[in-house]
């Protein structure tokens, strides 16, 4: 077997290295962020990919009824890996992470006081909009259950958001005329068999959007009930809340399509 001289070996190695992509492994950074809102100390969660440079399109995530949790952090990582600068809002305040049935009482406090809810939402939105990694002209808001309501409320309050996504959230508003303040496109991902969002509420939402001239899309997933994106909800649809893998996957893709047309 013919042996290459040392110079030949080095030349061959250089060629291999030149043809091999550099290993620039992206790293998702995650940081707790304290901020204040209406006299309360809140603790949100900032997530972004530090391999991305320049200003990034950004997404605010509004949590479900138990407060910011591993679930929202998981979604934040998924969005960061897609190239977004992400902030998980804390509506309740630092350390307030109720579990059922107390979670219902805490969520109800904000649903019954939309002014306070909007103040907490706006504070979180401002943290994200003012972040050094955020392109403030390309911000979206999404939310799950309680947070789906919150995403819509932030938009109704006139926030500068390009896209709004509610996953199995309540749709009702005590001030439907505020829909005229919505500046971005709205996507509602709804479980067709969700017992917690009655048909009358759905119809009122359609009317609200149409009267205000909002560009929106409403998708009802057959067989899906409340909490269809959350595996911890289990699979017993008779309880009214259950995971639905098909609706989960399709709603995420619908969100990505909306973001592709509004944020990129």
Q: 160-215: per-residue pLDDT in tens?
A: 999 999 999 999 999 999 999 999 999 999 999 999 999 999 999 999 999 999 99
Q: Which helix (H) or strand (E) holds 28?
A: strand 28-37
Beta bridge partners of 30: 47
Q: What is 29-262's CATH number, 3.40.50.1820, 3.40.50.300, 2.60.40.420, 3.30.70.20?
A: 3.40.50.1820
Cβ-count burial of 34 within 10 angstroms (0-12 exposed, 13-18 middle, 19+ buried)?
A: exposed
Q: What pLDDT sits at residue 22?
A: 42
Q: What is the mean pLDDT of residues 223-247?
A: 97
**Is 50 exceeded by the pLDDT of residue 235?**
yes
**Strand partners for 145:** none
Confidence check: pLDDT of 23 > 90: no
CA–centroid distance for 222 within its chain: 22
pTM score, two decimals?
0.90
Mean pLDDT value across residues 250-258: 98
CA-to-CA separations, 15 to 5, 11, 12, 21, in angstroms, rounded: 16, 6, 5, 12
Strands ordered across the beta sheet of 216-221: 28-37, 40-49, 85-88, 56-62, 134-144, 163-167, 185-191, 216-221
pLDDT digits (tens, 9 = 90+) for 51-99: 999 999 999 999 999 999 999 999 999 999 999 999 999 999 999 999 9
Mean pLDDT for the stretch of residues 119-129: 98
Q: Tell me the three state secondary structure of residue 148.
A: helix
């Amino acid at each position: 077997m013919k042996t290459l001289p040392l110079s030949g070996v080095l030349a061959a190695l250089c060629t291999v290295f030149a043809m091999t992509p550099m290993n620039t492994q992206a790293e998702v950074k995650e940081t707790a962020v304290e901020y204040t809102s209406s006299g309360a100390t809140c603790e949100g969660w900032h997530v972004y990919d530090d391999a991305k440079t320049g200003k990034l399109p950004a997404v605010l995530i509004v949590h479900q009824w138990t407060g910011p949790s591993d679930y929202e952090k998981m979604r934040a990582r998924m969005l960061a890996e897609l190239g977004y600068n992400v902030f998980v809002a804390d509506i309740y305040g630092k350390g307030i992470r109720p579990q059922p049935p107390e979670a219902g009482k805490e969520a109800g406090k904000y649903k019954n006081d939309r002014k306070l809810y909007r103040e907490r939402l706006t504070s979180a939105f401002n943290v994200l909009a003012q972040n050094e990694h955020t392109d403030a002209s390309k911000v979206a808001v999404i939310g799950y259950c309680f947070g789906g309501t919150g995403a819509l409320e932030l938009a109704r309050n006139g926030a500068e958001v390009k896209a709004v996504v509610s996953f199995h959230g309540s749709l009702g508003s005590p001030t439907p005329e505020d829909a005229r303040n919505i500046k971005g496109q709205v996507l509602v991902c709804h479980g067709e068999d969700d017992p917690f969002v009655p048909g009358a509420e759905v119809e009122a939402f359609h009317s609200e959007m149409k009267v205000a001239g909002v560009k929106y899309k409403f998708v009802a997933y057959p067989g899906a009930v409340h909490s269809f994106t959350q595996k911890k909800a289990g699979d017993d649809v008779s309880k009214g809340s259950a995971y639905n893998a098909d609706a989960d996957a399709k709603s995420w893709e619908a969100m990505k399509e909306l973001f592709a047309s509004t944020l990129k």
